[in-house]
């Protein structure tokens, strides 16, 4: 890896509707502390605020968050508001609705009529008069079910001016087609990383053909998923990392970005050093041989 200070601009840009963002962004989930599925999350409020401010200094202009990213200690949205308001004009904040959590942390799923309340929660916590991008996060139980009623409710909020652009998350190609028939969709946010199944790789390519941003989550964690990146890393990833003097996480991020110019990355961390490493991954150039070793196709 190069010794100069890398910035998020090194990875290039893509469009979320009429909003231009650097392809390396930041995911806020791991800032909040003791959420059960975040054992590696930050529990230091001041450090979390420093990480957010440093991310923007390093060129991050796309932050992914949600009102349900909170713990007994703090809220991701409140941290973002405290750290970054008044917001830079080019900062795009993406959030998501449909899942919710009550004050005890228990999960619930909104009805279409309740989505406005979830959007307003995000607006209030972030101190915004509109949301840049709202993803409809689809529950696992809806894998083959219609999302039209929920997405239609969000489309109405877009028409009302509360939301600028819409996306979908944890979806199938059928969901995307259904949503696009109702209103424009600027992004798909799905789990994706090294070893992703062929069907999801094809979905990623379809998004590119449609001009829809594809935004993977769990790109670094891989098989670790909600628990974060695990200690047992694949030999292929480690071998490529050694060859480039990079970390396994950097290789996974660079691989993600190599999947297509429409692919964005939103790695999250509460650690300032990991933040710098993640952003530096945007300058890591993997060869065709590296990509072959990692075992999947890449867009040229």
Percent of the chain whose predicted confidence (pLDDT) is above 90: 84
Structure-token pair, residue 103: 């004050």
* Four-CA torsion 110, 113, 119, 124, nearest 10 degrees: -100
Per-residue pLDDT, 103? 86
Give the residue with greater pLDDT, 151 vs 218.
151
The answer to the question of residue 277 being in a domain is yes
The answer to the question of residue 240 being in a domain is yes
Task: Provide the domain limits for residue 70.
Answer: 8-284
User: Does the structure show a pLDDT above 90 at 251?
Assistant: yes
Calpha distance 59→10 (Å, rounded): 9
Calpha distance 202→161 (Å, rounded): 34
The answer to the question of residue 294 being in a domain is no
Calpha distance 258→296 (Å, rounded): 11
Give the residue with greater pLDDT, 35 vs 241.
241
CA distances from 238 to 233, 257, 290 (A): 7, 18, 11
The residues, ordered by sequence, that sit 6+ positions from 145 with a Cβ below 8 Å of its Cβ are none
Residues 30-50 have a mean pLDDT of: 71
Window from 4-8, 114-118, 242-246 with minimum mean pLDDT? 4-8
The residues, ordered by sequence, that sit 6+ positions from 153 with a Cβ below 8 Å of its Cβ are 112, 113, 115, 116
User: Does the structure show a pLDDT above 90 at 198?
Assistant: yes
Residues 130-148 have a mean pLDDT of: 97
The answer to the question of residue 295 being in a domain is no
Q: For every residue of 123-141, which 3-state class applies, written as one string?
A: HHHHCCCCEEEEEEECCHH
User: Does the structure show a pLDDT above 50 at 286?
Assistant: yes
Calpha distance 40→105 (Å, rounded): 18
Structure-token pair, residue 220: 């670094």
Structure-token pair, residue 108: 């619930």
Q: Report the CATH number at residue 112.
A: 3.20.20.100
The answer to the question of residue 96 being in a domain is yes
| Catalytic annotation present for 87 | no
Q: How does the average pLDDT of the chain come out, rounded?
A: 91
The answer to the question of residue 160 being in a domain is yes
Say what the pTM is.
0.92
User: Does the structure show a pLDDT above 60 at 224?
Assistant: no
Q: Is the dihedral of CA 43, 49, 52, 54 positive or negative?
A: negative
pLDDT digits (tens, 9 = 90+) for 235-245: 999 999 999 99
Number of domains in the chain: 1
pLDDT band at 43 (very low <50, low <70, confident <90, very high): low
């Amino acid at each position: 890896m190069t010794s100069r200070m890398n910035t998020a601009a090194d990875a290039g840009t893509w469009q979320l509707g009429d909003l231009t963002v650097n392809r390396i962004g930041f995911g806020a989930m791991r800032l909040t502390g003791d959420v059960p599925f975040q054992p590696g999350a930050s529990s230091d409020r001041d450090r979390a605020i420093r990480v957010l401010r440093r991310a923007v200094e390093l060129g991050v202009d796309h932050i992914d968050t949600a009102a349900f990213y909170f713990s007994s200690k703090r809220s991701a949205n409140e941290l973002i508001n405290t750290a970054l308001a008044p917001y830079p004009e080019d900062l795009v904040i993406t959030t998501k609705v449909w899942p919710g959590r009550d004050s005890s942390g228990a999960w619930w799923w909104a009805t279409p009529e309740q989505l406005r309340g979830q959007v307003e929660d995000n607006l209030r916590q972030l101190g915004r008069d509109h949301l840049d991008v709202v993803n409809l996060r689809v529950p696992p139980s809806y894998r083959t079910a219609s999302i039209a009623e929920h997405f239609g409710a969000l489309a109405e909020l877009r028409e009302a001016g509360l939301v600028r652009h819409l996306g979908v998350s944890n979806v199938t190609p059928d969901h995307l087609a259904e949503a696009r028939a109702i209103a424009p969709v600027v992004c798909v946010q799905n789990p994706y990383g090294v070893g992703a199944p062929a069907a999801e790789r094809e979905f990623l390519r379809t998004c590119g053909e449609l001009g829809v941003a594809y935004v993977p989550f769990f790109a670094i964690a891989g098989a670790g998923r909600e628990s974060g990146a695990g200690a047992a890393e694949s030999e292929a990833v480690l071998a490529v990392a050694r060859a480039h003097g990079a970390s396994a996480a950097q290789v996974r991020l660079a691989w993600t970005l190599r999947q297509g110019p429409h692919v964005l990355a939103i790695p999250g961390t509460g650690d300032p050093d990991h933040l710098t490493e993640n952003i530096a991954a945007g300058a890591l150039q993997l060869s065709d041989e590296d990509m072959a070793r990692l075992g999947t196709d890449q867009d040229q």
